[in-house]
Amino acid sequence: MGKTTAYLVVLAEREAILWVLQNELMAFPARPRREVSALQPGDELVLLTTRGAYHNPTRDRTRVIGTAIVHSKVAPFEPEVEIVGRTFASGCQIRLETLAPYSAGPEIGPLAPQIQALHGEKNWGWLLRKPLVLLDESDVALLKHELQSHLRELNESLLTYRNSIKAPT
């Protein structure tokens, strides 16, 4: 296997978060994106939920919630998948490695100045408006380190999402 790449996966809708976690699949819209087509089996994913994902941005924060490994190449969905009114044309299998319980995980805000992928931006939120953000090794190490104290057993954490989010239709 060649060199792997790491990405921050931006999850911005609670039902989509549950769908990704339950199905161990990533889904991508039809609009072509270079970083999506570049995903390869073995690539590392750091899962992030935005502060608006749970529909209460004044209470919730943008957080790292877990890690996963890409398990298959990105391929078209036949048929396309609809999640919370959005259509997704392709996706790939992932294998969850770690997961913090619902509404847990380190906040990105205090870590932002140390995250190379956020370019030291004071207003870094705009950089998270795409599904995948390329991470370097120092970003991955920092985010995994900060996530460590929030982790619980995978099935236990997954159950907290199932109990807190209505299943997508």
The DSSP bridge pattern shows strands 63-70 and 25-28 to be: unpaired
Q: How far apart are CA 19 and CA 25, in angstroms?
A: 8
18-75 confidence digits (pLDDT tens): 999 999 999 999 887 888 989 999 999 999 999 999 988 888 999 999 999 999 999 9
More confident residue, 141 or 126: 141
* Residue type (1 letter), 168: P
Give me the chain's average pLDDT, please. Answer: 93
In which element (H, E) is residue 128 found?
Answer: none
169 pLDDT above the threshold of 70 = no
pLDDT at residue 56 in the model: 86
Question: What pTM did the predictor assign?
Answer: 0.94
Q: Which two tokens stand for residue 161?
A: 């999402």
Q: Which DSSP letter does residue 125 get? A: G
168 pLDDT above the threshold of 80 = no
CA 67 from chain centre, in angstroms, equals 8
Q: Which two tokens stand for residue 49?
A: 């939920």
